[in-house]
């Protein structure tokens, strides 16, 4: 049996893999180059997100360079990785990024040290994106 799934979910294959044990997955290769690029960014964003969510609780920060290696995306061009990273970080729970490094967000830790990132600052012009 063959099935084509069109979906917006980053982790659908993982979820269905738990239910449909032994299923074989094949990537659809679109004919249009722009679609290929979007598919590559989408898969890369998934790899980044899963790598970050799989980090141990002791890891409080990770550079983009280490994240690229950890998620197995060393082969990606710099700009493609940047776009995928931005897509992956949107709504990523417990993390924020400053320049090229992700930090694990712990409100009490930032408040005690005075190191609260400006986008979460209670004073002045807060920037939310």
Residue with more model confidence, 81 or 125: 81
d(CA 127, CA 117): 10
Identify the pLDDT of residue 95. 85
Q: 32-120: which CATH number, 3.30.200, 1.10.860, 1.10.3470, 1.10.10?
A: 1.10.10
d(CA 101, CA 103): 7
Identify the pLDDT of residue 4. 74
Of 25-29, 83-87, 125-129, give the lowest mean pLDDT range: 125-129
Question: Using CA of residue 36, residue 37, residue 40, residue 46, what is the dihedral sign?
Answer: negative
Question: Would you say how long the chain is, in residues?
Answer: 129
Strands (E), 57-94: 61-63
Identify the pLDDT of residue 126. 42
Identify the pLDDT of residue 69. 93
Residue with more model confidence, 6 or 55: 55
Q: Do strands 95-98 and 61-63 pair parallel, antiparallel, or not at all (unpaired)?
A: unpaired
Over residues 56-114, the pLDDT tens digits come to 888 888 999 999 999 999 988 999 999 999 998 886 888 888 888 888 876 545 544 55
d(CA 126, CA 120): 7
- Quote the distance between the C-alpha of residue 98 and its chain's center: 15
pTM, two decimal places: 0.59
């Amino acid at each position: 049996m063959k099935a084509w799934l069109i979906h917006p979910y980053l982790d659908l294959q993982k979820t269905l893999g738990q239910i449909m044990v032994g299923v074989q997955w094949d990537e659809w290769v679109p004919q249009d180059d722009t679609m290929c690029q979007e598919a590559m960014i989408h898969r890369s964003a998934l790899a980044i997100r899963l790598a970050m969510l799989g980090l141990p609780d002791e890891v409080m920060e990770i550079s983009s360079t280490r994240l690229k290696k950890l998620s197995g995306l060393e082969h990606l061009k710099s700009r493609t990785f940047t776009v995928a990273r931005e897509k992956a970080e949107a709504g990523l729970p417990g993390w924020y990024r400053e320049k090229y490094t992700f930090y694990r967000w712990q409100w009490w830790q930032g408040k005690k040290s005075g190191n609260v990132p400006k986008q979460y600052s209670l004073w002045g012009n807060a920037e939310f994106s």
